[in-house]
Amino acid sequence: MALHQAQRLALFEAIDDGFCIIRFIDGPHGPMSDYIHIEANSGYERHTGIADIVGKRLRDIDPGNAQIWLDLYGKVLETGEPARFEQEFQAVGRFIEVSARRVGPKEMRQVSVLFRDITARKKTETALAENVQRVQLALAAGAIIGTWFWDLPSDKFSVDEGFANAFGFDPAKGRSGLSLAEVVETVHPDDRDGLAAAINGAIARGGAYAHQYRTRRLDGNYYWLEANGRVELAPDGTGSKFPGVLIDIEGRRAVEAERDRAIAALRTLTDTLEQRVEQRTAALVEAEAALRQAQKMDAVGQLTGGLAHDFNNILAGISGSLELLKIRLAQGRIADVERHLAGAQAAVKRAAALTQRLLAFSRRQTLDPKPSCLARVVAGMRDLISGSVGPGIALETGIADDLWCTFVDVGQLENALLNLCINARDAMPGGGTIAIRADNLQLDEAAAAKRGLAAGDYVALSVGDNGVGMTADVIARAFEPFFTTKPMGQGTGLGLSMVYGFAGQSGGAVRIYSAPGEGTEVCLYLPRHAGHAQSHETAVESLSLPAASGRRKILLVDDEPLVRGVAVEVLADLGYEVLEADDGPSALRVFAKHPDIDALVTDVGMPNGMNGRQLADAIRVQRPGLAILFITGYAEYTVLNHGDLDHGMQILTKPFTADSLAQRVGELLHQGKR
């Protein structure tokens, strides 16, 4: 099999043209709304200029023209009929000639693409079209002053009277035939080398020819003209015929020369002004850069100050609880142990929540998006929101009957909705009404640009109140981490920043509409999803997790010894047989000795050249469908293809509890038995 793969790779590399295989995938824009490059040869980079294409998505490479490529290749995938076409690859500024063919059955979602760069040919065709247009315009304007026909093998010109006059010849001699040397002798000495190069180039390549130069006429003066022609090649590739026309451009060149003199004179007059403007501009740019740096450092200072404040409080709680735990154990006061452990665990949960909100703001949180209906989300949250805002706040909902689906992480959306409702409650200390609305929204380019979005279909989820409202200055800073208008101790300033990051990471945006004394409306714009929504009812509580009888075998991989040790103990206490590894290569060696494992639990970001996703893919080659649990932080989320996981794969975000680890492993093994 390795030999076959090597031969196949050698064949791909032997092809001078670009070659790749793409696989259609689902995404935030709907089913089959993107594709990923799964194979490519080195010719891909030669013909497009894009390196390391394998693993990259179409919408990351050419987002502005993604639908064009999806339609072209989607038709090949759907019909199974090969296609040949020429298309501009705008992202790299090239034209390519493409042959596309489906790979295997339609269910594989794969299309092979063979292509070559034809930009040079396109430019030649464009130049020819421009030459033809120029000649046609000249004919219409009466600017053509002569024509010629040059027989290249005999080096004889047949010209009309206008040509002879333009070159200062006796018209009768022109009709009897001229040589190239006689023609060039009348050309201005400064223009002869350029003319010779232009003629030789046209003869060598064939096709269109255009060049401007000066010729001496019968009055002894030199005049500008433009020669336009086309070289026809013989079957052996040598020049055969070279017909063309002469266009009088003396008047045009005179106007251009006068324009150049005027520009030069104006430049001389304004040189000192330009110098002063350049100096002033440089000073303004320097001042602006200094201001941006100061603002950046101020923002960093606010962020680090907020982090230091919150984490110092959290660390104080953890440290104090552990210190008291140590003292009580030494005193033998076992009854107090559970209380201090609970205090430390609560502080850890606060730290995890703080980190999650910061990651949400920076668009680095680990999301698990699914097709979702916001009507169900709002209905399911109503009781929780009512209990959170209290009896003094009335809650109204208005949901469109035909509300479109979206592609979001429902858990994070619920957090965002709850945060917005709590903010609305705090803006109405004397009571009031919170209105939750959800509507379909079609945005054209102008409307979308005002919201920082691309034109298209969106679901607008808004939370409004009739509270104190916000000033323009507050709105401008509302999404900054740790910025809050609430009194000390009554707000972290992370709620809106989390909503901001979540909306952006979901392909949408969030905007605030408010004025002092007129209440506030915060609106989430989420892209429409073309598929059907999934049910979000949770069956975890009623799920009967399988006992670890029969010594189910788990391979656990993590390069952090403390995390790995805790996870091993948790799983071992549940009765599982746990095999350990500290990186991808060592995990493969363990798997080679124990191919009968029931599940793989692996960190994603690991050293020594192999991450968790690569490890999972390598093991699934031998064990398709093996249950796999990824343990990840934000930095490695892109390795998981932004949530595009195969069946039987789940994600557990760090930090995690022993209960959540046990539950996820139990769920995976339970699903694997069905």
92-124 residue pLDDT tens: 999 999 999 999 999 999 999 999 998 877 876
Q: Name the pairing type of β-strands 649-653 and 627-632.
A: parallel
Q: Which CATH class is domain 2-117?
A: alpha beta
The CATH label, of 3.90.1150.10, 3.30.70.270, 3.30.565.10, 3.40.50.2300, for the domain at 553-673 is: 3.40.50.2300
The pair phi, psi for residue 391, each rounded to 5°, is -70, -20
- Asked if the model's pLDDT at residue 416 lies above 60, the reply is yes
**Amino acid letter, 254:** A
Q: Where are the alpha helices (DSSP H) in 142-188?
A: 161-166, 171-176, 180-185
CA dist., res. 239 & res. 233, Å (int): 5
Lowest mean pLDDT among 84-93, 113-122, 149-158, 449-458: 149-158
Q: Copy the structure tokens of residue 616.
A: 């999972």
DSSP 84: E
Closest alpha carbon to 356 in 662, 654, 658: 654
pLDDT tens-place string over residues 11-50: 667 677 899 999 999 988 889 999 999 999 988 999 999 9
Local structure of 295: helix, strand or coil: helix
Q: Which of 109-113, 224-228, 250-254, 437-441 has the lowest mean pLDDT?
A: 250-254
- The answer to whether 650 and 660 have CB atoms below 8 angstroms apart is no
Q: What is the DSSP letter of 487?
A: P
- pLDDT digits over 190-221, tens only? 999 998 898 888 888 888 888 899 998 888 88
Burial label for 323, CB within 10 Å (0-12, 13-18, 19+), is exposed
Portion of the chain with pLDDT greater than 70, in percent: 74
Nearest CA among 67, 102, 54 for reference residue 81: 102
Question: Could you tell me the two tokens for 542?
Answer: 């009623």
Pick from 58, 56, 44: nearest CA to 113: 44
The CATH architecture to which 370-529 belongs is 2-Layer Sandwich (3.30)
Q: What is the pTM of this model?
A: 0.39
Looking at residues 65-83, what average pLDDT do you find? 94
Q: Which long-range contacts (CB under 8 A, 24 or more apart) does 620-625 make?
A: 620/646, 622/591, 622/595, 623/595, 623/597, 625/672
Which CATH class name applies to 122-248? alpha beta
The whole-angstrom separation of Cα 529 and Cα 532 is 8
In this structure, the number of other CB atoms found within 10 A of the CB of residue 483 comes to 19
